[in-house]
A and B are shown apart, each in its own frame.
Chain A
Amino acid sequence: MSDLQVFRQETRDWLETNCPQSMRSPVRNADDACWGGRNWTFKSEEQKQWLEHMAARGWTAPSWPAEYGGGGLNKAEAKILKEEMARINARSPLDSFGIWMIGPALLQFGSEELKQQHLPPIVRGEIRWCQGYSEPGAGSDLAGLQCKGEDRGDHFIANGQKVWTSYGDKADWMFCLLRTDPDAKKQMGISLVLFDMTTPGVTPKPIKLISGSSPFCETFLDNVRVEKNQVVGEVNQGWTIAKYLLTHEREMIGSFGLTDAGSDTLGQIAAKTVGVEQGRMNNPLLRADVLKWEIDAAAFALTAERVTDEVKSGQGVGATSAMLKYYGTELNKRRFELMLKIHGSDAMIWDGADSNGGWVPRSWLRTKGNSIEGGTSEVQLNIIAKNILGLG
């Protein structure tokens, strides 16, 4: 057996022993997932075990270096782990902006000290992170941000307001963009800093969305002390890292367009709900919309796969994250518009056990934000036109 075959067998055996039964099903919604952090209450003993077992091997962050608590796996091994987890339908042990966003940025741009301080607790799910990017006056025009960090020698004093802070009220630390040089050209005076959410002067306040949920906060910064050793990269050079992180975020949100393995496809949901006669769905106009969506969804999933494979083999343009974000989020919005049509008046029920807590209408409304957060569809089209097509 080759080394990889041995690794696959060992991984399979280990997962068989260590993945609790209830963790072998897809996460139903954001509340069902494990987010970790100081204030986290595990939804079950098995959720806790699953996180601890995986974290002990560094497999919450499989490809991070072992010296920072990661799994230290190479690409082929990480792929095998993913495949073996998918094989038994194992869910992710930890959903984390630390793993998805600030961790990769620290690995690429952070000092040794910052990596040692922050990465291991991220892997163990002990510290939950949030992102302080957007401001009331800086949405699509993010580089126009005004939250200021005044230089006080060994630290900055931060003042201003952030908005759309995902889970700001539940997070332990924030990675935050501050204007640290008010006189520089707008992209040039920005720093990426890290601070504890319990620092005096930090006040997150949940925002209720049209979907009824509150995944976001506005976060007020009132004379918040930020240590200079918590600057990622160089002072006033934060925009480069911010753009790197936005690319990551786009890739993440773009994957929203993909149907989870193991769950019913839209076509299957539609067929079950409205019925099939002589091989064809009863409602021909709905059928036409659903099959068109399914074809686009299949093409999109294959594109995500192809782009990944091209990057691995050194082909491709590499700047396709804007396209994936644009297409994936528009696709997800279409999916939920069709869910409304499939479920008819049932889809209008906002609450109650029969409606799974109004899951369809609430999810439908939530998807409207997909093409706004992480850069609007229009911003993605601008990026494609300028960076890929060279249109000025």
Chain B
Amino acid sequence: MAMVINEEQQMLKESAQGFLAEFAPVSELRKLRDEGSATGYNADLWRQMVDMGWAAILVPEAYGGLDFGHVGMGQIIEQTGRTLTASPLFSTAIIGASLINLAASDAQKFELLTAIAGGELTTALAVDETIHHAPTQISMTAVKQGDSYRLNGEKRFVIDGHSADKLIVAVRTSGNLGDTTGISLLILDRNSAGVEVERTEMVDSRNAAIVRFSDVSVSADNLLGEEGQGFSALSATLDIGNAYLAAEMLGIAQESFDRTLQYLKERKQFGVLIGSFQALQHRAAHWWSEVELCKSVVLKVLQSLDQGDPRSPAMASIAKAKLCEVVELATNEAIQMHGGIGMTDEYEIGFFIKRARPAASLYGDYNYHGDRFALLSGY
């Protein structure tokens, strides 16, 4: 498959670019932060995204979706990296929709996916329990009692955990810590009895929570897929999530590059533009080259997902690892080349480095994905 985006995808990219630049620029994230927004996102903006069909892109047509594919959705997410737009798009329309589509029964899909596509339902995935991503290290328990499960445990770094309507929780119904079998997926209302949500204020001013479960009762009807067999859908969903995090980080790396390049062409010291200094030119040229490589891995992983390529897991880890590395370079260089003004809260470049690290950390950082890529390659 040719490594280019088609006309329809290009149009979506441009319309997303225009829309986000107008309605959700970086200044909107600052506003949400400074106002101490309860949800961490703008509900009107989310409504507009839903009206444009963005929540329906990954939903199959049978459930009221557009089935437009990952390459298309990736163009939008890349643009949200440029504007640092906060919204439920990632945790609901990508993670929630993908996991439900992969794991749920037809009846569940009909109910849940239709609601997601229509913007009537937001979801949050609760998977990690440790400070480093480890999707098999699940100790949170769900014990079957009659027609329901009793849940006990704690989840961390739950994106949108404080605002989503429903939580999708990876729990252990059998087996030991580290086993892939014995992991089950349950979906429940966030405001179920026994669920305690602690909103964590994050460095990126976005939305995450620690969620504690004390004897929470969930009907067995809310099991997604077979009991104990949830890991493969979970793992495939995490691959999808990592592909989009890579796409978002590509947007961050490009936007911080573009802004820095502009600054190199404006800022004068010693009577000349600082962009005339070879020391900075070479670093900028290297940075640009790295971003070119990032464009390729992001497009490739999105294409792999659309084609159901069996190498998608390895490709997801390649893309995530590469973007983790380059977004770190990009945001560090952005601050350094901006000099003192880059350290000020008033200037926007700092927002990019603050979003870059949580995006890199979520669902596995460079070390996690480098290790995983090597394991998948047989070493």
A-to-B contact residues, CB < 8 Å: 265, 267-268, 270-271, 276, 279-281, 287-288, 290-292, 294-296, 298-300, 302-303, 305-306, 309-310, 312-313, 315, 320, 323, 326-327, 378, 380-382, 384-386, 388-392
Contact = CB atoms under 8 A, between A and B. Distances in A.
A151 to B, nearest CB: 39
Contact of A295 (B282, B370, B379): B370
A327 B293 contact: yes
B379 A270 contact: yes
Contacts of B282: 378, 381-382, 385
Interface in B276-327: 276, 278, 280-282, 284-286, 288-289, 292-297, 299-300, 318, 321-322, 325
- List the 10 closest pairs (A to B, CB-CB), nearest first: A385-B281, A384-B285, A302-B296, A271-B379, A306-B3, A299-B293, A381-B285, A303-B296, A291-B374, A391-B275
Contacts of B379: 267-268, 270-271, 276, 279-281, 287, 290-291
A88 B2 CA distance: 23
A309 B3 contact: yes
A176 B250 CA distance: 44
A303 B291 CA distance: 10
B296 A268 contact: no
B4 A315 contact: yes
B265 interface: yes
A384 B321 CA distance: 25
A305 B273 CA distance: 36
B284 A295 contact: no
Given A295-B321, A323-B288, A392 B374 contact: no
B288 A320 contact: no
B143 interface: no
Contacts, number: 125
B84 interface: no
13 contacts: A267-B377, A268-B379, A271-B379, A280-B371, A290-B374, A291-B374, A295-B373, A306-B4, A327-B293, A380-B285, A385-B281, A389-B284, A391-B264
Contacts of B2: 309, 312-313
A275 B325 CA distance: 27
Interface of B: 2-4, 261, 264-265, 273, 275-276, 278, 280-282, 284-286, 288-289, 292-297, 299-300, 318, 321-322, 325, 370-371, 373-375, 377-379
A296 B293 CA distance: 8
A392 B322 contact: no
A309 B265 CA distance: 31
Given A291-B370, A313-B4, A298 B285 contact: no
A142 B297 CA distance: 35
Contacts of B322: 295-296, 299
A170 to B, nearest CB: 35
User: Counting chain A CB atoms within 10 Å of each CB, which of B278, B280, B374 scores highest?
Assistant: B374
A299 B297 contact: yes
A385 B257 CA distance: 13
A326 B289 contact: yes
Contacts of B378: 267-268, 271, 276, 279
Nearest to A282: B379
B288 A298 contact: no
Contacts of A390: 265
A292 B379 CA distance: 13
A72 to B, nearest CB: 24
A306 B295 contact: yes
Contact of B370 (A288, A306, A323): A288
A147 B228 CA distance: 77
B211 to A, nearest CB: 32
Contacts of B321: 295
A279 B376 CA distance: 9
A295 B273 CA distance: 36
A128 to B, nearest CB: 34
B264 A381 contact: no
Contacts of A276: 378-379
A42 B373 CA distance: 43
A391 B276 contact: yes
User: Counting chain B CB atoms within 10 Å of each CB, which of A268, A276, A288, A296 scores highest?
Assistant: A296
A277 to B, nearest CB: 10
A166 to B, nearest CB: 26
Contacts of B281: 381-382, 385-386, 389, 391
A392 B272 CA distance: 10
A281 B379 CA distance: 5
Given A287-B374, A295-B322, A380-B285, 14 more contacts: A276-B378, A280-B374, A281-B379, A291-B377, A294-B377, A295-B321, A303-B296, A306-B3, A306-B295, A306-B299, A320-B292, A381-B281, A382-B278, A384-B288
